[in-house]
Structure 1
Amino acid sequence: MNSPVKLPIDTFPVERPLLKQRPRETKLSFDGRNASLPVFVAGDENRLVAFVCQSDTSMWSTGPLLLIGPEGSGKTTIALHLAARCSAEASLADDPSAVRYLSALDFAREYADAVAADDIPHLRRSIDKAAVLVIEDLHLIAGKTAAQDELTSRIDQRIQRGAPTILTSRRLPTETRAIRPQLASRAVIGLTIPLAYPQAESRLALLRELSLVRGVEISDEHLALLEAGLRTEVSVRSLDGAIKQIDLHCRMTQCGVDIAAVQSAINAAGELNDIDLGKITRTVAKIWGHRTRDLRSGSRKQSVVRARSLAMLLARRMTPCSLDKIGDYFGGRDHSTVLHAIRKTESLLESDADLSRIMHEAKEKLAA
């Protein structure tokens, strides 16, 4: 077995609080057992995360802490790590009620149940008295106006008490449609920390750690080939999937890790994340409120044109399709028309916040 890789400087052990309600998917499953990496590896892409996690909690605990980043970037892990540190500093590490964990959708459901049972004070007490409150996936409460107003009030109460509140979201609440301004403003008045997928040195370190946990012996040379062959924007879960694929290939062929095993993992990752023109068109059309056939039609309606152009840009960036093939799909347009639409959209993205938000939302949905 290879000796453990020397981890980057910004690597720290991950603490987890005792919870009455366990969050979903906070652990990776190895060989049928519940297990998880004991450390968070943070390269240059997550240097701010590492700094906050290794600093005194007083630097952020007076106001809401907001963690933003794509799915699988580690928001829940960091939120619970910081919650555990807060509860430990308050000498409540052994109290499973010290940290109140809820997804935003769970909060909305509990609020609706409390309204139906005419028992809102009980919900408020349970939220207000928690030593640390963690609300995950804030973006999913969009459109639930009453629940948003109630959550805003609860955050206000916790700010007045100086009680730590940790929020996670895939994007800034101010850039999320149907999030009320009152809630968005409360969420961002404290410290906001972006999280990104691991890159370069971090990916290599994580691949090595995952291979050690799974008991798969992989040389540094093969790890480097694997890292170079995977997409740049992948979660730790996807990196673990690549190690699993190598292990499966070796078991099936009854041989050690070689280039063929590494290539099988790269190929499997590519197939899993295969995105076609149809999926892109459906995703963009749904976000914009159009029908798929509208984007493929000859409609010159301005909103349709903008949606179609964005879909073309995504198709160019996320598929191997040529300009001619993209043009054929979107109503038989020639390659020069497609190129013009793409360049115009790229230019608009630099100044149009709404278009940029829709682009970000579409990429998230396509990568999920």
Structure 2
Amino acid sequence: MSNKQQSRIFDRVCQLLKAKIGAEVFQSWFGRAKLEQSSSSVITISVPTPFLRTWINSHYLDDMLALWQKEEPSVLKVDVVVRSAVRANASKAVASKEQMAKTTAPNSKHPVMPGSMLNKAAIMGTAQEQAARGTVLGSPIDSRYTFDNFIEGPSNNVCLAAARTAVDKGANAARFNPLFFYSSVGLGKTHLLQAIANAAKAKNPNQRVVYLTAEYFMWRFASAIRDSKALVFKDALNEIDLLIIDDMQFLQGEKIQSEFCHLINTLLDSAKQVVVAADRPPSELESLDPRVRSRLKGGVSLEIETPDYQMRHAMLQKRLEDARKDDATLNISEDVLQHVAKTVSSSFRELEGAFNQLIFRQSFEQNISLDRVDDILGHLTRAEERKKVRIEDIQRVVAQHFNVPRNEMLSNRRTRTVVRPRQIAMYLSKIMTPRSLPEIGRRFGGRDHTTVLHAVRKVEQMKTADTNLSKELELLRRLIEE
């Protein structure tokens, strides 16, 4: 698709998003957003400040992806980047191309590498290049995520200790391989994984560290197959020292999962460390190949639990302390911090959003009262109430009610005894959780968001005509909420 076509799609997505969230809110967060680049599967949008990037990623990324996929179903990911970083990376890319041209020029004094060696060098790079630019294979690693600024408490101290051990390669490190972290969204999995990567690279700059999200791994692998570089890509992966995979629940595709299983086996057999994170334990990742689940269950699985009040309060104090380094005039009272820590309790990510919202408001509204805080953060506290229900809880209750095994409900079976419970579970997931249609589809065996939308509309039509179904749905809601 041409850049002009992608620009038109971007404009349509912006109009749809503006209609959904309101013109004023849209202008506040997306007024300066620009389409930087696009491919068949990844869209990159830039904003001028890190604050805008953080806020959009926390609150609107799923909506943007869903709207974009309605216009262009092949899109798998929307990246939001800071404009200055885009320019810096573009400059590096130009310099890199010029250097490569000098290296491979016919009249150059340096020898020209054979094609296969050139391809591999382009993928792997030298150890010095990886240390300077981060690994070219992996997703970007944020240097701000470290063990030192990771908020530690009763809900995650065991996970933090295991992460440090994996980096230090102490006496128990072999027992923590693979090391598997799981939790609900926004509790610090990504921070912990990137802290591992940063600590490992700081300890040994020549160590080959790769941090990947499952979606990025799928995209890179698919791109390598398309470009006839699959063997080179797999060779490059097999040579790394530390593999970190985030959002494992999104890994889809029989071929890709098979290759991923071979990769894990190769690394573990070579005593290389593997660290994985997902939103649930390995035993509940039904969409994964049994061989992958078995390998993941062979290590140590640790849960990051919901932070308690003391942790939430400490996080807000730390964020205020950091913010005052940039703006000494910031003044959020201790009473407000304590109130927010008590009110927003589900995740660090929501707490971060609440803090950013207060900072934003204070720029034109001084001395915010506690009542005003409740008004400002109303959308977060209302979301807190909805987030008590998980999609897994809905699946379990519906499966028990209809006497259908949960794994069959997530399978591709199309018999009526399976399809009806599946559609009802999708419908309840949409109305009882804040999850987007693409996210619900992933939780139901990797289905497309249009399948979920069809199920929701189908159940809505059936309950209008069938009073017994309406009563059954109400019963299921009560069972789920108990």
> Do both share a fold (TM > 0.5)?
yes
Match of 1:110 among 210, 220, 239: 220
Offset of 1:70 from its aligned partner?
2.2
Counterpart in the other structure of 2:162: 52
Counterpart in the other structure of 1:341: 476
Counterpart in the other structure of 1:41: 151
Distance 1:156 1:258 in 2: 56
Counterpart in the other structure of 1:221: 335
Match of 1:162 among 253, 265, 271: 271
Question: How far does the alpha carbon of each residue in 1:130-154 deviate from its partner, in whole angstroms, 9 at most, with x for none?
Answer: 1211122222112x11111111111
Counterpart in the other structure of 1:205: 314
- 1:158/1:164 contact within 8 Å kept: yes
Counterpart in the other structure of 2:358: 246
Offset of 1:265 from its aligned partner?
3.5
- 1:43/1:202 contact within 8 Å kept: yes
- Structure 1 residue matching 2:158: 3-state secondary structure: helix
Residue 258 in structure 1 maps to residue 372 in structure 2: no
Offset of 1:173 from its aligned partner?
3.7
Counterpart in the other structure of 1:65: 179
Counterpart in the other structure of 1:366: none
Offset of 1:267 from its aligned partner?
1.7
Residue 128 in structure 1 maps to residue 241 in structure 2: no
- Cα distance change of structure 1 residues 37 and 265 upon mapping to structure 2, 3 Å threshold: farther
- 2:142/2:194 contact within 8 Å kept: no
Match of 1:79 among 175, 179, 193: 193
Count residues with an aligned counterpart.
293
- 1:104/1:135 contact within 8 Å kept: yes
Distance 1:346 1:124 in 2: 46
Q: How does 1:94-109 map to 2 (within 5 A)?
A: 94-95=205-206, 98-109=208-219
Question: How far does the alpha carbon of each residue in 1:203-223 deviate from its partner, in whole angstroms, 9 at most, with x for none?
Answer: 011111112222333333222
- 1:313/1:342 contact within 8 Å kept: no
Distance 1:209 1:267 in 2: 23
Distance 2:277 2:426 in 1: 27
- Structure 2 residue matching 1:168: 3-state secondary structure: strand
Distance 2:363 2:201 in 1: 44
- 2:178/2:275 contact within 8 Å kept: yes
- Structure 2 residue matching 1:100: 3-state secondary structure: strand
- Cα distance change of structure 1 residues 305 and 163 upon mapping to structure 2, 3 Å threshold: closer
What amino acid is the match of 1:135?
I
Identical counterparts, % of pairs: 17
- Structure 2 residue matching 1:221: 3-state secondary structure: helix
- Cα distance change of structure 1 residues 26 and 69 upon mapping to structure 2, 3 Å threshold: farther
Counterpart in the other structure of 2:378: 267
- Cα distance change of structure 1 residues 113 and 312 upon mapping to structure 2, 3 Å threshold: closer
- Structure 1 residue matching 2:307: 3-state secondary structure: coil
Cα RMSD for the two superposed structures = 4.1
- Structure 1 residue matching 2:156: 3-state secondary structure: helix
My pick for the range that moved more, 199-208 or 242-251, is: 242-251
- 2:264/2:274 contact within 8 Å kept: yes
Distance 1:128 1:312 in 2: 42
- Structure 2 residue matching 1:213: 3-state secondary structure: helix
- Cα distance change of structure 1 residues 125 and 261 upon mapping to structure 2, 3 Å threshold: same
Distance 1:150 1:316 in 2: 36
My pick for the range that moved more, 102-111 or 126-135, is: 102-111
TM-score with structure 2 length normalisation?
0.51
Offset of 1:124 from its aligned partner?
2.4
Offset of 1:155 from its aligned partner?
0.9
Distance 1:227 1:261 in 2: 15
What amino acid is the match of 1:304?
R
- Cα distance change of structure 1 residues 26 and 269 upon mapping to structure 2, 3 Å threshold: farther
Q: How does 1:271-290 map to 2 (within 5 A)?
A: none
Distance 1:25 1:83 in 2: 8
Counterpart in the other structure of 1:323: none
Question: How far does the alpha carbon of each residue in 1:230-289 deviate from its partner, in whole angstroms, 9 at most, with x for none?
Answer: 2x313x232122122222333323x2243244223422424677969xxx9xx989x968
Distance 2:430 2:337 in 1: 30
- 1:246/1:264 contact within 8 Å kept: no
Question: How far does the alpha carbon of each residue in 1:179-217 deviate from its partner, in whole angstroms, 9 at most, with x for none?
Answer: 111111112211112223422111011111112222333
- Cα distance change of structure 1 residues 118 and 249 upon mapping to structure 2, 3 Å threshold: closer
> Could you say which structure has the higher helix fraction?
2
Counterpart in the other structure of 2:257: 148
- Structure 1 residue matching 2:363: 3-state secondary structure: helix
What amino acid is the match of 2:264?
I
- Cα distance change of structure 1 residues 135 and 61 upon mapping to structure 2, 3 Å threshold: farther
Distance 2:433 2:250 in 1: 27
Offset of 1:113 from its aligned partner?
3.4
Counterpart in the other structure of 2:346: 233
What amino acid is the match of 2:135?
K
Residue 186 in structure 1 maps to residue 291 in structure 2: no
Residue 20 in structure 1 maps to residue 135 in structure 2: yes
What amino acid is the match of 1:239?
L
